[in-house]
Amino acid sequence: MSIIKAEYIWIDGHKPTSKLRSKTKIIEGSISSLEDIPEWGFDGSSTMQAEGSNSDCLLKPVCFIPDPIRNSDNILVMNEVRNPDGSVHESNTRAALKELAEKFSDHEPWFGIEQEYTFFVGRSPLGWPEGGYPAPQGPFYCGVGADEVFGRDIVEDHMDACVRAGIGISGINAEVMPGQWEFQVGPLGALEVSDQLWLSRWILYRIAEDYGVNATLHPKPVKGDWNGAGAHTNFSTKSMRENGGMKVIEDACEKLGKNHEDHISVYGAHNEERLTGLHETCSIHEFRYGVSDRGASIRIPMATANAGHGYLEDRRPAANMDPYEVCASLIKTVCA
């Protein structure tokens, strides 16, 4: 009989942006499928998910991966939050995506999400002079050298951990603002990319903790002439990836333009601080799409335009967005 440490991870009811929570359950035995992992509960009154007088919420395991930090047979378990009677809790955005993903599965939607984030120590981004500013932006993006990039040891640890855990991480890069980085997850189906993005965020926070560093997803962590942090969401359906896909992509862009406000409403809090029209963004009040245009709401990559098929990049989602909601809104607008 082996002892397994199962880290149950869930999304809380914090507003306007939910936070990750987790706690450990010791399980005796062996775990080979989701059915082997018991449901569990927590005190919802401490996570903005229940009143103190009726505080129990249910954790329903939805996927699990090897724990890349504790290693051995230990696991990380992603959960949906349910009410005590098993119904969907109001903070649970995954259940709705699951329904949509199943309904439109014949479109075979794929997502690749570019997660940008910023390291902080105390009140300053990592590597910034105490209470001051570094040199203006320019040399830092994809930079190398101790004067250009800050926190690479954490970033490498995080990437290794994601690979060990079987997360579909597809790359990393240093970002335009010093102390800011990006990793990409995908391309994967809607539920897979979303579960894995939440899990990889948890792994990032957990690893940075050991370095005494805090990773934040705030879309505009430093006001002024500094790039914000986004979560560009690359999206395609089967017909976009096939011959003649360019026309399907353009039709999708037209539909996205007609539903701009609906999308912005789930693309992350404080996104108006980031989508100003400066720093490689399009204003939050406008919608534009174009080939290779990093100042547009939607960019059609050059390789897609050249091939005549491929995918589109929605540049509007903020770093702190909920991928369950973003993927759901894209499927709803484009596939329905």
Q: Can you tell me the distance from the alpha carbon of 154 to that of 87, in angstroms, rounded to the nearest whole number?
A: 39
Q: Which of residues 215-234 bind Mn ion (CB under 5 A)?
A: 232
Q: Can you tell me the distance from the alpha carbon of 127 to that of 121, in angstroms, rounded to the nearest whole number?
A: 9
Q: Is 271 left (phi over 0), alpha (psi -120 to 50) or beta?
A: alpha
Q: Which of residues 293-312 bind ligand ADP (CB under 6 A)?
A: 310-311
Q: Where are the alpha helices (DSSP H) in 129-285?
A: 152-164, 190-210, 238-241, 245-258, 260-264
Of residues 48 and 142, the one with the C-beta less far from ligand ADP: 142
Of residues 187 and 317, the one with the C-beta less far from ligand ADP: 187
169-208 mask for ligand ADP (x: CB under 6 A)? -xx------------x-xx---------------------
Q: Can you tell me the distance from the alpha carbon of 306 to that of 50, in angstroms, rounded to the nearest whole number?
A: 52
Of residues 206 and 232, the one with the C-beta less far from Mn ion: 232
Position among 67, 80, 182, 195 found at the interface with Mn ion (CB under 5 A):
182
Query: Binding to ligand ADP by residue 89, rule CB under 6 A?
Result: no
> Which span sits near ligand ADP by CB under 6 A: 17-25, 30-38, 81-89, 234-242?
234-242
- By CB under 6 A, the count of residues binding ligand ADP is 17
- Provide, rounded to whole angstroms, the least separation between the CB of residue 334 and ligand ADP: 12
Cβ contact 26:3 at 8 Å: yes
State whether the Cα torsion 127-129-130-133 is positive or negative.
negative
Query: Binding to ligand ADP by residue 235, rule CB under 6 A?
Result: yes
In three-state secondary structure terms, 193 is: helix
Q: Can you tell me the distance from the alpha carbon of 309 to that of 240, in angstroms, rounded to the nearest whole number?
A: 6
Contacting positions for ligand ADP (CB under 6 A): 110-112, 114, 170-171, 184, 186-187, 232, 234-236, 241, 310-311, 313
